[in-house]
Amino acid sequence: MKLKRRVGDFRVRELLDPDYLVESGDYRVYRVTKRKLTTPEAVEVLAREAGVQPADVGIAGFKDRQGVTIQYMSVARGKPVQLHSPELKIDPAGFAREELTGDASRGNAFELNVRELSRADLKRLRTRLPESEGYGIELEFHEFSPAPHRHRDDRQRQYAAGKGRHGRLCCVRRSV
């Protein structure tokens, strides 16, 4: 079983309290999508683009550098920002009455692509999924076939032999 082989194999999406965003408020809130960047690196860019100090950017928490993450950030002052680059996308999400902190977070949703699963891996995974209930975690597993490529016959043989299966594990961890 192989994890995090590609940047897009791990995705995290921050879940905000539905009442946090409002029609108008003192804070601009941005939806920030980043690839291979830390949260502090994304904060630096947003602060620079908005013309404020990094300390003026509110976040609900730090997200993983190794993957594609979507999180929200707030800025009390500064000019409006919209940025699209391969590593970082910043889009306006709305407004808030107060700075974004962990109190506005309702958890995170995760997607993890798992590659080269054996039949035993699949069986273990399906058996253990129900154990997550009761911990505030919702899990789903979806199997998918490897993408076709030039060694297609080899991949089909591996798949038939119980090797080379791929799956996507989707998880929502809600804060209480």
Q: 139 or 78: whose pLDDT is higher?
A: 78
For residue 157, the enclosing domain spans 107-174
Side-chain half-sphere of 164: how many Cα atoms within 13 Å? 15
Confidence band of 155 (pLDDT split at 50, 70, 90): very low
What is the number of domains present in the chain?
2
Summarised one tens digit per residue, pLDDT across range 118-139 is 778 777 777 777 776 666 566 6
What is the structure's pLDDT at 103? 95
Residues 98 and 114 in one domain: no
Angle at 62 between CA 58 and CA 64, to 5 degrees: 145
Question: 100: domain CATH number?
Answer: 3.30.70.3160
Looking at 80, 104, 128, the residue that finishes a domain is 104
Of 92 and 9, more confident: 92
pLDDT, position 25: 95
Burial of 34 (0-12, 13-18, 19+ CB in 10 A): buried
Q: Are residues 77 and 24 in the same domain?
A: yes
Question: CA angle 139-111-41, nearest 5°?
Answer: 135
Same domain? For 117 and 167 the reply is yes
Domain check: are 117 and 47 in the same one? no
**How confident is the model at residue 10, as a pLDDT?**
80
Q: Is 170 exposed, middle or buried (0-12, 13-18, 19+ CB in 10 A)?
A: middle
| Other residues' Cβ atoms within 10 Å of the Cβ of residue 59 | 22
Do residues 124 and 89 share a domain? Answer: no
Distance of CA 56 to the CA centre of its chain: 23
Same domain, 112 and 64: no
The residue ranking higher by pLDDT, 65 or 116, is 65
- pTM to 2 decimal places: 0.74
What is the phi/psi pair of residue 118, to 5°?
Answer: -85, 170
Of 63, 87, 104, the one marking the end of a domain is 104
The reply to whether 77 and 138 lie within a common domain is: no
- Domain end call among 84, 104, 124: 104
Are 18 and 92 part of one and the same domain?
A: yes
CB half-sphere exposure, 76, CA atoms < 13 A: 10
Single out the catalytic residue among 26, 64, 153, 154: 64
For residues 57 and 136, state if they share a domain: no
Residues 27 and 45 in one domain: yes
Which tokens go with 174? 């809600």
CB within 8 Å of 28: residues ≥ 6 apart: 50, 74, 75, 78, 80, 81, 92, 95
Tell me what the pLDDT averaged over the chain comes to.
80
Q: Give yes or no for a contact between 172 and 112, defined as CB atoms under 8 angstroms apart.
A: no
4 within a domain of the structure (yes/no): no
pLDDT in tens, 19-75: 999 999 999 999 999 998 999 999 999 999 999 999 999 999 998 888 899 999 999
> Do residues 20 and 100 both lie within one domain?
yes
Q: Give domain status of residue 8, yes or no.
A: no
Which range is least confidently modeled, 25-29, 93-97, 103-107, 117-121?
Answer: 117-121
Whether 3 is in a domain gets the answer no
15-28 residue pLDDT tens: 999 999 999 999 99
* In a shared domain, residues 85 and 125: no
Domain assignment present for residue 123? The answer is yes
- Note if 64 is an active site residue: yes
